[in-house]
């Protein structure tokens, strides 16, 4: 358990490299936001979570298997992670944030990941003017 990282994981680094190469700039780990999103696009009011399939109970072949040892503990742990994700997503959306989730299994094929992130980039770039950061007013002369 001590070797399991919550930051700078391989799937997260793949996502970050592709977004950065596409010219997208972001902040890491929005501490003031619910769930501490992995990537924060504050000016566009959008966040990206990169979830591990096992830990967040994704419906894929990597997220379905449950450990046989201490099964009750792991079932409760994984279920609480998934419920917390839902609450954090709802709080962010209620505050006007757009939430994107990238799953670990989506990062295994770089070509498919690029296609998936193109959709995210398209959505981020084509935001409506009211969600973009407005320039500060000019100081009085």
Q: Is residue 83 part of a domain?
A: yes
Q: Which pLDDT band holds residue 126 (cuts at 50, 70, 90)?
A: confident
Residue 22: both structure tokens together: 């596409």
* Alpha carbon distance 91, 33 (integer Å): 9
Q: Residue 87 belongs to a domain with what CATH number?
A: 3.40.960.10
Spatial neighbors of 23 by CB under 8 A, at least 6 apart, are: none
> 141 in helix, strand or coil?
coil
The number of beta carbons lying within 10 Å of the beta carbon of residue 50 is 22
Lowest mean pLDDT among 35-49, 74-88, 117-131: 117-131
Mapped onto helix, strand or coil, the DSSP state of residue 28 is strand
Question: Any idea which of 9-18, 20-29, 118-127 has the lowest mean pLDDT?
Answer: 118-127
Would 140 be classed as within a structural domain?
no
**Residue 131 belongs to a domain:** no
Decide if 136 is inside a domain: no
Is 139 among the domain residues? no
pLDDT, one tens digit per residue, over 30-76 is 889 998 999 999 888 999 999 888 888 888 877 777 888 888 998 89
CA atoms of 141 and 127, how far apart (whole Å): 33
In-domain check, residue 2: no
The answer to whether 17 touches 24, Cβ cutoff 8 Å, is: no
Total structural domains within the chain:
1
Per-residue pLDDT averaged across 6-10, rounded? 79
What pLDDT does residue 19 have? 92
Q: Domain span at residue 103?
A: 10-124
Q: Is residue 110 part of a domain?
A: yes
């Amino acid at each position: 358990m001590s070797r399991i990282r919550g930051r700078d994981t391989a799937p997260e680094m793949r996502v970050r490299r592709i977004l950065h190469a596409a010219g997208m700039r972001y902040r890491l780990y929005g501490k003031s936001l619910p769930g501490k999103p992995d990537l924060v696009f504050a000016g566009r009011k959008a966040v990206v979570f990169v979830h591990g399939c096992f830990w967040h109970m994704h419906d894929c072949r990597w997220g379905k298997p449950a450990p046989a040892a201490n099964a009750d503990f792991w079932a409760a742990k994984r279920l609480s992670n998934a419920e917390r994700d839902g609450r954090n997503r709802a709080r962010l959306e209620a505050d006007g944030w757009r939430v994107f989730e990238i799953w670990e299994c989506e990062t295994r094929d770089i070509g498919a990941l690029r296609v998936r992130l193109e959709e995210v980039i398209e959505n981020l770039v084509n935001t409506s003017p009211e969600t973009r950061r407005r320039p500060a007013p000019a100081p009085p002369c």
